[in-house]
Amino acid sequence: MLIVEDDSDIASLLAEILENEGYVAAAVSDGDDLKGQLDPRPDLIVLDLRLARGSAEQILQSLRARDLGDVPVILLSAAGDLAERAKELGVSAFLAKPFELDDLLVVVRRFA
């Protein structure tokens, strides 16, 4: 599982929580770092919508271009009104920040 989150504290916390649940999780801070983490193919990507460098849209386009468009993506955003936009982007699930950790785990279990 790959976490793409530019806030290193949040990324580390999410990775630790998911690892405590038995998942193997790696965290990167932006789309540039993501490129080095796509081999081996991740089974799930947790992606923050707004990144310091790059955007979720660019990352999703890159995944599709690399024939990784079928990897489930959970999109995270502090803008809770983006559920419809998330559907347009073709992500597997959307969680508005702040979210309950149990809600994240339910969604991760559905796709991992």
Mean pLDDT of the chain: 87
Give tens-digit pLDDT for 40-77: 889 999 999 888 777 788 888 888 888 888 999 999 98
Select the CATH number that applies to the domain covering 2-111 from these four: 3.65.10.10, 3.90.1150.10, 3.30.360.10, 3.40.50.2300. 3.40.50.2300
- Quote the Cα angle for 95-39-44, to 5°: 20
pTM for this predicted structure = 0.89
Q: Where are the beta strands (DSSP E) in the chain?
A: 2-4, 26-28, 45-48, 73-77, 93-96
The order of strands in the sheet holding 26-28 is 26-28, 2-4, 45-48, 73-77, 93-96
User: Which has the higher per-residue pLDDT, 109 or 60?
Assistant: 109
